[in-house]
């Protein structure tokens, strides 16, 4: 006979799930025991369920398929929520299997009881509690099919007396479906958009992750239109390799070239992006937006022409209707501005920068403590990372430095909490990525605030032999919060972090730990860390006052920094 728990695990293994993340305990004991007896699935025991949910979210995004995490009754389930919200906002299909008190105790305020169906309603596309063996396999099929077809989180709660229930002989094996076949936008809408683009003299493109499977078509459109291409952070993967139209990112991590390309265009063509920062969109432009989800059209900026459909299929038709724009001035000017800015950024990545005249002046302003500039570290990572490395980044300044200095060329992949914006995501997402293929290089770019929040799950890297390379940008600050405060003229407050020596902590846990305090030693340390077998933590003490200047700084921001620095001088946070 087969139990409820055994059917669930057998069906997931048949689908291709190869790891399940969580913490064992009580109500889920029948499920974890079924995993113990299933050779196709590896149990990934974490120290905090949030780390398990982040790991599963990363796997779902990298594989574009179902990933699974578990949390037992009450607190164990609650701990999953943050990582599951990351999966929701990233469009990652994740199944969360939760424990629940025995059926007879539901609703009695039993020890550890919480109402999972209510608690997880907002984060999930499907949420239900299994109360009878007769619900199988239908309820499992509904849960997984919802996660796969709607690209979201499905939650299935298993009371403590249900997982071990035997199923009737002949219960059919569950099967799961995927998303519906894509289709192009309406032909009339494509024709209207083509007419606008053919009439325009200066088109700028804003390209997002939703265009990743249409690289060839996007490049053809850019070439026909002579359009500079602004990339969202998530579009770095797929569009930075051999792209003569690319001019970097917009937003706070952007550069002057993108701001000018937006300002100078007559038409903005948005392709597969839901870039959320309204203040960085240009005004007074004709906007065309292509997205497979009509609900995203126009919610960031006013759109005159909507194309609702699959990116690749829609662009295949569009390119047949476009005329070649022979005037390339708009593209040439944008590319020159981008190259000039990139050259200036590259100077900051030179370890000897501060010994040169311009560097000596800047050092007195923003690095009197002679700390390592984070640009030096990011550039070294770019040089020594594998051509197919998977990068994960914590929300905050480590993402800024990746955006500016690390190229997603070749087979590189990129994962982060870029929609939820959670702290502490990078290291557990790296765990998830590494569990897919332990021979592939996985690099976590962690902030000191982020790594210390879920520090205990460095143990997971050791206990499960996950050879992640954790690079800590250790500036002793909540760096992005500090920047936000200073931009509006506030002195930093509550942002100072009194950190341990993270390399020594890592060594105590069982990783190789390396600490760097000298800019001249960064390159060799990065090379060493990436070459060593097993999990490694590289703790680099970086400059806390490094300023990531917005792409087009305003007078108000300039005054804000000046006022903030004056206040910080008078009232030191140390």
Confidence of residue 253 (pLDDT cuts 50, 70, 90): confident
CA angle 196, 200, 204 (to 5 degrees): 100
Beta bridge partners of 473: 447, 540
pLDDT (0 to 100) of residue 551: 60
pLDDT (0 to 100) of residue 363: 67
Percent of the chain scored above 70 by pLDDT?
94
With CA atoms as reference, report the closest residue to 172 among 201, 142, 136, 205: 136
Q: Is the pLDDT of residue 571 over 70?
A: no
Domain boundaries, the chain: 4-159, 187-339, 349-570
Average pLDDT over residues 367-390: 93
Q: Is the pLDDT of residue 15 over 80?
A: yes
Q: Is the pLDDT of residue 549 over 80?
A: no
Rounded to whole angstroms, the Cα distance separating 29 from 43 reads 13
Query: Residue 541 CB: number of other CB atoms within 10 A?
Result: 22
CATH code for the domain defined by 4-159: 3.40.50.970
- What is the residue whose two structure tokens read 């390309």? 261
Average pLDDT over residues 405-412: 96
Rounded to whole angstroms, the Cα distance separating 155 from 97 reads 6
DSSP codes, 265-318:
-SEEEEES-----GGGS-SS-EEEEEES-GGGTTSSS--SEEEES-HHHHHHHH
pLDDT (0 to 100) of residue 555: 46
Residue 340 phi/psi, 5-degree rounding, is: -65, -45
369 DSSP assignment: T
Q: Is the pLDDT of residue 487 over 90?
A: no
Q: Where are the beta strands (DSSP E) in 77-152?
A: 94-100, 124-129
Rounded to whole angstroms, the Cα distance separating 126 from 144 reads 9
pLDDT (0 to 100) of residue 485: 86
pLDDT (0 to 100) of residue 546: 84
Q: Is the pLDDT of residue 18 over 80?
A: yes
Question: For the chain, what is the mean pLDDT?
Answer: 93
pLDDT tens profile 214-229 = 999 999 999 999 999 9
Query: Residue 172 CB: number of other CB atoms within 10 A?
Result: 11
The conformational region for residue 456 under phi > 0 = left, psi -120 to 50 = alpha, else beta, is: alpha
At the fourth CATH level, which superfamily is domain 187-339? TPP-binding domain (3.40.50.1220)
pTM of structure: 0.94
Rounded to whole angstroms, the Cα distance separating 112 from 83 reads 21
Confidence of residue 553 (pLDDT cuts 50, 70, 90): low
Are the C-beta atoms of residues 93 and 19 closer than 8 Å to each other? no
Start-end of H helices in 367-418: 374-384, 397-405
Q: Is the pLDDT of residue 456 over 60?
A: yes
Is the pLDDT higher at 370 or at 119? Answer: 119
Q: Is the pLDDT of residue 313 over 90?
A: yes
pLDDT (0 to 100) of residue 550: 57
pLDDT (0 to 100) of residue 569: 41
Name residues whose C-beta falls within 8 Å of residue 39's C-beta, 6 or more positions apart in sequence: none
Residue 19 phi/psi, 5-degree rounding, is: -150, 150
Are the C-beta atoms of residues 113 and 52 closer than 8 Å to each other? no
pLDDT tens profile 57-73 = 999 999 999 999 999 99
- The secondary element (H helix, E strand) that includes residue 393 is strand 390-393
Q: Is the pLDDT of residue 452 over 60?
A: yes
Percent of the chain scored above 90 by pLDDT?
85
SS3 551: coil
The CATH fold assigned to 349-570 is Rossmann fold (3.40.50)
- Sheet arrangement for strand 390-393: 413-416, 390-393, 442-447, 469-474, 536-541, 512-516
Query: Is 4-159's fold the same as 187-339's?
Result: yes
Q: Is the pLDDT of residue 424 over 90?
A: yes
Please, is 291 exposed, middle or buried when counting C-beta atoms within 10 Å of its C-beta (0-12, 13-18, 19+)? buried
Residue 392 phi/psi, 5-degree rounding, is: -125, 145
Q: What distances in angstroms separate CA 35 from CA 46, 102, 253, 257, one per listed residue?
A: 15, 21, 43, 52
Rounded to whole angstroms, the Cα distance separating 332 from 240 reads 17
pLDDT (0 to 100) of residue 243: 97
Residue 97 preceded by cis peptide, ω within 30: no
Are the C-beta atoms of residues 427 and 444 closer than 8 Å to each other? yes
SS3 380: helix
Angle between helix 479-487 and 555-570 (nearest 10) = 110
pLDDT (0 to 100) of residue 364: 61
Confidence of residue 489 (pLDDT cuts 50, 70, 90): confident
Two tokens, residue 228: 């500079």
pLDDT (0 to 100) of residue 178: 82
Confidence of residue 368 (pLDDT cuts 50, 70, 90): confident
């Amino acid at each position: 006979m087969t139990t409820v728990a055994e059917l669930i695990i057998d069906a997931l293994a048949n689908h291709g799930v190869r790891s399940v993340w969580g913490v064992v305990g009580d109500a889920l004991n029948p499920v974890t025991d079924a995993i113990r007896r299933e050779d196709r699935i590896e149990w990934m025991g974490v120290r905090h369920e949030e780390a398990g949910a982040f790991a599963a979210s990363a796997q779902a995004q990298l594989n574009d398929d179902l990933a699974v995490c578990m949390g037992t009754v009450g607190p164990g389930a609650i701990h999953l929520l943050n990582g599951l919200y990351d999966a929701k906002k990233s469009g990652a299909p994740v199944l969360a299997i939760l424990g629940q008190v025995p059926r007879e105790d539901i609703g009695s305020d039993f020890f550890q009881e919480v109402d999972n169906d209510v608690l997880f309603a907002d984060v999930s596309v499907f949420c239900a509690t299994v109360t009878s063996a007769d619900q199988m396999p239908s309820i499992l099929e509904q849960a997984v099919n919802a996660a796969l077809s709607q690209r979201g989180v499905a939650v299935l709660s298993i009371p403590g007396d249900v997982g071990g229930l035997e199923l009737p002989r002949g219960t059919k094996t569950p099967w799961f479906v995927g998303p519906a076949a894509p289709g192009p936008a309406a032909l009339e809408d494509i024709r209207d958009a083509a007419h606008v683009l053919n009439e325009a003299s200066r088109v700028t493109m804003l390209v997002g992750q939703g265009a990743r499977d249409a690289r060839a078509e996007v490049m053809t459109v850019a070439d026909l239109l002579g359009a500079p291409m602004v990339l969202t952070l998530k579009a770095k993967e797929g569009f930075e390799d051999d792209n003569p139209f690319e001019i970097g990112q917009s937003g706070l991590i952007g550069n002057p070239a993108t701001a000018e390309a937006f300002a100078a265009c007559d038409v903005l063509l948005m392709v597969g992006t839901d870039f959320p920062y309204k203040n960085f969109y240009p005004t007074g432009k004709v906007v065309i937006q292509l997205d497979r989800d009509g609900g995203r059209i126009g919610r960031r900026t006013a759109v005159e022409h909507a194309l609702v459909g699959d990116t690749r299929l829609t662009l295949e038709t569009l390119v047949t209707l476009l005329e070649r724009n022979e005037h390339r001035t708009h593209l040439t000017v944008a590319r020159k501005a981008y190259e000039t800015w990139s050259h200036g950024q590259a100077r900051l990545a030179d370890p000897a920068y501060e010994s040169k005249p311009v560097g000596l002046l800047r050092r007195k302003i923003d690095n009197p403590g002679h700390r390592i500039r984070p640009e030096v570290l990011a550039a070294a990572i770019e040089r020594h990372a594998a051509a197919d490395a998977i990068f994960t980044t914590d929300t905050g300044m480590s993402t800024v430095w990746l955006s500016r200095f690390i190229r997603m060329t070749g087979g590189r992949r990129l994962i982060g909490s870029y929609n939820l914006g959670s702290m502490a995501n990078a290291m557990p997402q790296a765990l998830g990525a590494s569990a897919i293929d332990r021979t592939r290089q996985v690099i976590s770019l962690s902030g000191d605030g982020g790594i210390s929040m879920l520090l205990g799950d460095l143990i997971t890297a050791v206990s499960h032999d996950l050879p992640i390379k954790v690079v800590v940008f250790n500036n002793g600050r909540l760096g992005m919060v500090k920047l936000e405060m200073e931009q509006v003229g506030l002195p930093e407050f509550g942002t100072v972090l009194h950190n341990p020596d993270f390399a020594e902590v890592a060594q105590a846990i069982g990783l190789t730990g390396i600490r760097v305090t000298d800019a001249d030693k960064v390159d060799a340390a990065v090379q060493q860390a990436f070459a060593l077998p097993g999990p490694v933590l590289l703790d680099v003490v970086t400059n806390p006052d490094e300023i990531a200047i917005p792409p087009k700084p305003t007078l108000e921001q300039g005054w804000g920094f000046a006022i903030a620095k004056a206040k910080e001088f008078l009232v030191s946070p140390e």
